[in-house]
Structure 1
Amino acid sequence: MTDTDAFAERKSRASAWFRSLRDEIVAVFEGLEASHAEGPFSDMAPGSFEVTPTTRTADDGSDAGGGLMSVMRGGRVFEKVGVNVSTVYGTLGEAAQKSMAARGVPGIEADPRFWASGISLVAHMQNPHVPAVHMNTRMFWTPNAWWFGGGSDLNPCLEYDEDTAHFHAMQQAHLDPHDPALYPALKAWADEYFYIPHRARARGVGGIFMDDRNTGDWEADFALTQDIGRAFLPAWVPLVESRRTLRFGTAEKDAQLVHRGLYAEYNLVYDRGTKFGLATGHDANAVLMSLPPLAKWV
């Protein structure tokens, strides 16, 4: 049983952590824009984030939480990147209740109140040599259960084996102190989760993914979730720095647009977070922030 009052402090800590991670990432991304002084797009003005509050309204018109949508478009390094945080609450609809009951969430149909907080990030890059990336972490609470979820995965249109190796090594380095069995388990989960059945291929080169994480030790599970978030910048930023000055031509840009079509298909058809956000009435622009600015289908 997870009493509302007993979890108030833990909810506050989790929500504050996701916001602090958001603030750090936004600052680093704007720093990448400012420091891009040579190579493609360096003659453009550096991009900055447009920050918009988001709101969620319950069916009866009452406040049901919200967050911040931070989006940068048309920068030197980032063609489009969104870093969103939200804390929402209320009562789950019938369809969401049935979905969670099917996943084994206890008591959800008898008491469908919920609270959820998290950060979600998707970056689509100007230079096709720089890999697109996705990261999110979250906490979910009901009166009878709680859990954490999230991970990050790399989505290059032009694959570099050394980039993939670095990205995965950073994930493992942050997971191993918790349990050496975690990285291979969460890597395999990501490989399964980010697979596109109708294309018979993976969305990218993988990463780590977990959901419904509840070992019974909230502090340990929260610490793991924080380290998944902390792994993101050292895993990805060095790849941006090493690839953003590379020259490219029409063929490379075309490959990027086609790969973005694949990314859009996955997010609209399969992604659990997209489905949940739209089903629970969150700001549609924030939920669909992950979609690329331009894409192509062949």
Structure 2
Amino acid sequence: MTDDFDTRKARASDWFRALRDRIAAAFESLEDSHATGPFADAPAGRFEITPTTRAAADGSDGSDAGGGVMSVMRNGRVFEKVGVNVSTVYGTLGEAAQTSMAARGVPGVEIDPRFWASGISLVAHMANPHVPAVHMNTRMFWTPGAWWFGGGSDLNPCLEYDEDTAHFHATQKAHLDRHGPALYPELKAWADEYFYIPHRKRARGVGGIFMDDRNTGDWEADFALTQDIGRAFLPAYLPLVERRRTLSFSQSDREAQLVHRGLYAEYNLVYDRGTKFGLATGHDPDAVLMSLPPLAKWI
């Protein structure tokens, strides 16, 4: 299993890196093309790229290692802050992570705590309140006893437009329908449940798709699904940016945006599984917390 999965791990890691490159190029192109409307006179934004590392669980070098690339653009014409990160990390799970995964039914993790994980994580907070914030991530996780894929994407507007929500969901459905008609309803329902904020008794945004612990026994099929979740992102999101980025907005619109960002921050710090895992396993905290907005407000 290990030898076979060395090749599969490399394929997954290469895919996440290629997807990051494609998305970053598309976002910088949006910055270049934004010639009218709010912020058009600002310099076009560019990603600042920083290597990231994972600290060994015991503070040593060697068996616990890995890292990735943190790509963050700030104060652009279209994006106030956007991060598109990739990482590949490996080593030995800590006791808390072992306990959590064993409780989720991961076989053998309490006996052999070795792990490997790779993925892409994206969060965009937009300059214009009419343009929705968005999140996307996909990942692969491996232990000697199991492997799985996870991730999805969801839309987080502070000013909601029904046609934007419809387009975002329809594009995702079209990509998921290639893998069976039952998949989109299942992953949409999962997103509705996962991106819910219990202490606010409301959803974080207008939903999307989400999956975790995906292992049907067919690695190729599950990897193909994960790739299509990634491929769906740009056609689902870019038309919404194009449609809204030149609209004028009021101070009350900006206030609504900042309050909604506070809601986003609450969810990511309290509930998000990826945030908890990244911090618990020693990954670069700046990369893990890249998802937090540059400015937010609480009433």
Category of TM-score, reference length = shorter chain: over 0.9
Q: Which residue of 2 aligns with 1:47?
A: 45
Q: Displacement, 1:61? A: 1.6
Write out aligned runs for 1:1-298 (5 A).
Answer: 3-58=1-56, 59-63=58-62, 64-298=65-299
One-letter amino acid of the counterpart of residue 201, structure 1:
R
| TM-superposed deviation, 1:57 | 2.2
CA–CA distance in 2 between the matches of 1:186 and 1:62? 39
Q: Deviations over 1:82-124 (max 9, x none)?
A: 0000000000000000000000000001000000000000000
The code of the aligned residue for 2:45 comes to G
Q: How many angstroms does 1:38 deviate by?
A: 0.1
- Cα deviations by residue, 1:184-207 (Å, 9 ceiling, x for unpaired): 000000000000000000000000
Q: Which runs of 5+ in 2 are unaligned?
A: none
Work out the CA distance in 2 between the residues paired with 1:27 and 1:208: 24
1:53, distance to aligned residue in structure 2 (A): 0.2
Shift of 1:62: 1.5
What secondary structure sits across from 1:54 in the alignment? strand
RMSD (Å), alpha carbons: 0.5
Identity %: 83
State the alpha-carbon separation in 1 of the partners of residues 29 and 59 from structure 2: 43
Tell me, what secondary structure is at the counterpart of 1:262? helix
Task: Report the CA distance between 1:60 and its aligned residue.
Answer: 4.2
Name the stretch that deviates more: 62-71 or 119-128. Answer: 62-71
Offset of 1:5 from its aligned partner?
1.4
Q: What TM-score comes out, normalization by structure 1 length? A: 0.99
CA separation in 1, counterparts of 2:68 and 2:182?
A: 34
> How far did 1:6 drift?
1.7
Partners of 2:59 and 2:246 lie apart in 1 by 52
Q: Please give the alpha-carbon distance, in whole angstroms, between the structure 1 residues aligned to 2:60 and 2:242.
A: 46
Long gaps (5+) in structure 1: none
How many pairs are equivalent? 296
The one-letter amino acid paired with 1:62 is D
2 CA distance for matches of 1:205 and 1:57?
Answer: 36
Residues 221-247 of structure 1 show CA distances to partners (whole Å, capped at 9, x for unaligned) of: 000000000000000000000000000
Q: Secondary structure at the match of 1:198?
A: coil
Q: Which ranges of 4 or more aligned residues in structure 1 deviate by more than 6 Å?
A: none
The Cα shift of 1:4 comes to: 1.7
Distance 1:62 1:10 in 2: 25
Q: Deviations over 1:160-215 (max 9, x none)?
A: 00000000000000000101100000000000000000000000000000000000
Provide the rounded CA distance (Å) in 2 between the counterparts of 1:286 and 1:138.
Answer: 15
Match of 1:75, SS state, is coil
The separation in 1 between residues aligned to 2:5 and 2:59, in whole angstroms, is 25
Q: Give the structure-2-normalised TM-score.
A: 0.98
DSSP 3-state at the match of 2:179: coil
Equivalents in 2 of 1:265, 1:60: separation in Å? 30
Per-residue CA shift, 1:42-92, capped at 9, x if unaligned?
010100000000011212422410000000000000000000000000000
Q: In structure 2, how many angstroms separate the alpha carbons of the residues matched to 1:124 and 1:61?
A: 36
